[in-house]
Amino acid sequence: MSGILDGLNERQREAVTATEGYVRVIAGAGSGKTRALSHRFAYLVNEIGIMPSHILCVTFTNKSANEMRRRIRRLTGDSDTGYIGTFHSFCVTVLQEDSHAVQYPKSFLVLDNADIDAMLAVIYEERGLTLRHMTYAAARDMIEMRKIYKDPEYYEQMIAMPLDGLRQKYLDATKTDDILFFGYLYQQKKCFGLDYNDLIKFTLHIFGVNEDVKLKWQRRLEYIMIDEFQDIDELQYRLMKALCGYHKNLFIVGDPDQTIYSWRGASVRYILDFDKEFPDVRTVVMTENYRSTPQILAAANSLIDKNKMRVKKELTARLADGGPVVYHHAQTAEEEAVWVARKIKELEETGVKPCDITVLYRSHFVSRPIEEVFLKEKIPYTVYSGVPFFGRMEVKDALSYLRLIAFKDDLSFLRVVNTPKRNMGERRIRFLQDYAARHGCALYTALERSADDEIFKNTKAKRFLTLIGRFSAGYSDMPVSELLSAVLDESGYEQMLRTEGAQERLDNLAQLKQSVYEYEKSCGEEVTLTHYLSRVAMLTNTDLVSAKDTVKLMTVHAAKGLEFPHVFICGLSEGIFPSKKTATPESMEEERRLAFVAFTRAQKSLFLTDAEGSNLDGSFRCPSRFIFNVDKERICYTAELSENLIAKTEWHIANSESGFLCAAERESFRIGDRVRHSVMGTGVVVDIDTEKGAYVVQFDGLGTVRSISFKAKLIRLDGSQSAQ
């Protein structure tokens, strides 16, 4: 026991040894929550004797799950680390074991945005739609909103309706959104593909209709731990309640001060009201910070103390003193970027590496002048935005080869059958699609059966079949990393890129190979191809942060969960950070929490900058209220602000806050409520946009949603009326 509890502070030790019942840990930024979680897991296994396979530990990123496994293996000396991963990856595990309950095979596909776009492309071509009808991004959003709000029971059609019936419903649809929605459901069922929304929905459905399956998982999971609880959404909350209903051992860790994802369903209320929802909750508050200097924490504490919806606490530093938090006000955005570049060069002169420096901002457009100056000053940098790593063409191609080997699915076939070129153009693909439709088979099977047809003469179709067939027969005996290297080599894909001189794409493939190898190592057990493919679709850009020696540029949201030695927060201006869309006290508190998250990413030094100028609406750009929220003695100003500038800023802040809508003006309706509008008719509330002060309503008969002001006259269908 001494080894597991050694080195823990009093609060961490209390959390680790609180094994039974409902436990809420309020873990401040940098307070060692990952350490507490991993040591608690080891304590349960080594000291109490719980089987690792009876413990579920939910994290919110694959990267943190891998780190958790590594720590637990070191503490327990056992490669068995139970169920550690995201809610979605856990649902994949459940479905791989129990998808038979809804007549789905274990070898279902987990779809990402690129897969969805490929399905949409088929629908657009079949039904004569163009991007003028709806862009792919808008279609994806529409489908997601419809699955969550307008057609929340959609999965019953996917499960119960025969494929032909679902196809007919798609063909009978006349409205664009109906065509896309039912066409997508048909394409999903055709290849047994599930997207992120489906994973939790299908799991909850199975638990709802099959008590034996639910009870099996409830009994198996004797202890449940959830990290980053402040980020949980409604579906995840429902799944959590279902899983802990038998043993009633639930351990949650989170920080209300870091709730920054309300726009995707998270609510600070889940963690604040946890003790009201569950009986006899034990609360442990961890405030000792091991990440940042006292100066950084003093500024962060001063900032977040202005929020009201929080558990009152103050972070205390365990590190030695560092330099002051520096604030620089510039006359222009270009001058702001020049100042940042100069400070970075000063840091480099003291021996700091570029990879230890990060520039954070609220919105991507803030990076434009910074990038221009960095290019001019020859400061190497990497922007973590744009196309996610696993959405890049060459990475998707490589993974499609692996998926075709495992599943022989149509999506992967269409992506790689002519990449590299094999003379398999549109005419031959159409031939295969017609054959597959007539015979009710997959495209790969259609090619196998018709490869001797005259139409495939002078193509490399047979060579392609031989390649995929050989790897399909033998992939179970190969590590995934070796299989990937062999496929990219023998398919000619890497040779194609070398011929094109596409070195960056080759580098990305090398990074993919390395990530597969590291994934195999992190799991500590044999990783099968299907196991890897079922999870790779859920990886994000930040799961593969490059080790290149460059300055990192990213949004604050992208930096959540990360830490950096030296941090610059740029664009700290009203209308940028906080966002100009902020329209309520609640949304302003979330903006302040976002700034708090940005502050607490810094370990050794923190620099805050803003610039004067004009906003897009022509208004004067003044310093962010978050600068003034920090007590003046906690920040070192490079120059005093003029009284005129301070007066303008104070007037702007007072004016914006006087326009905030109070909570009472918007709490009459909830997401999912049926409402009636005097002009627009009946509809359903699908979202609440606190930034704009509006309900997002999907009115019956309209193809798209409408944003209706909180102050508009809406009537709930039960007859009650909203506040006016």
Catalytic center residues: 33-34, 227-228, 258, 601
Quote the tokens at residue 75.
């503490």
C-alpha angle with apex 318: 313 to 322, nearest 5 degrees? 105
Q: What is the DSSP letter of 43?
A: I
User: Residue 83 is inside which H or E element, if any?
Assistant: strand 83-85
Q: Which amino acid is at 399?
A: L
Is the bond leading into 623 cis (omega within 30 degrees of zero)? no
β strands within 537-596, DSSP E: 551-555, 564-569
Distances (CA, A) of 478 to 345, 438, 513, 532: 48, 36, 14, 13
Q: Is 210 exposed, middle or buried (0-12, 13-18, 19+ CB in 10 A)?
A: middle
Distances (CA, A) of 431 to 145, 377, 463: 36, 56, 19
Q: Which amino acid is at 174?
A: T
At 65, is the secondary structure helix, strand, or coil? Answer: helix
Closest of 2, 41, 457 to residue 224, by C-alpha = 41
User: Residue 603 is inside which H or E element, if any?
Assistant: strand 602-611
Q: How far is CA 10 from the centre of its chain?
A: 33
The number of residues making up the chain comes to: 724
* Residue 26 half-sphere exposure toward CB, CA atoms < 13 A: 21
Q: Rounded to an integer, what distance in angstroms lies between the CA atom of residue 118 and that of residue 198?
A: 18
Contact 303, 599 (CB under 8 A): yes
Q: Rounded to an integer, what distance in angstroms lies between the CA atom of residue 628 and that of residue 299?
A: 11
User: Residue 515 is inside which H or E element, if any?
Assistant: helix 503-523
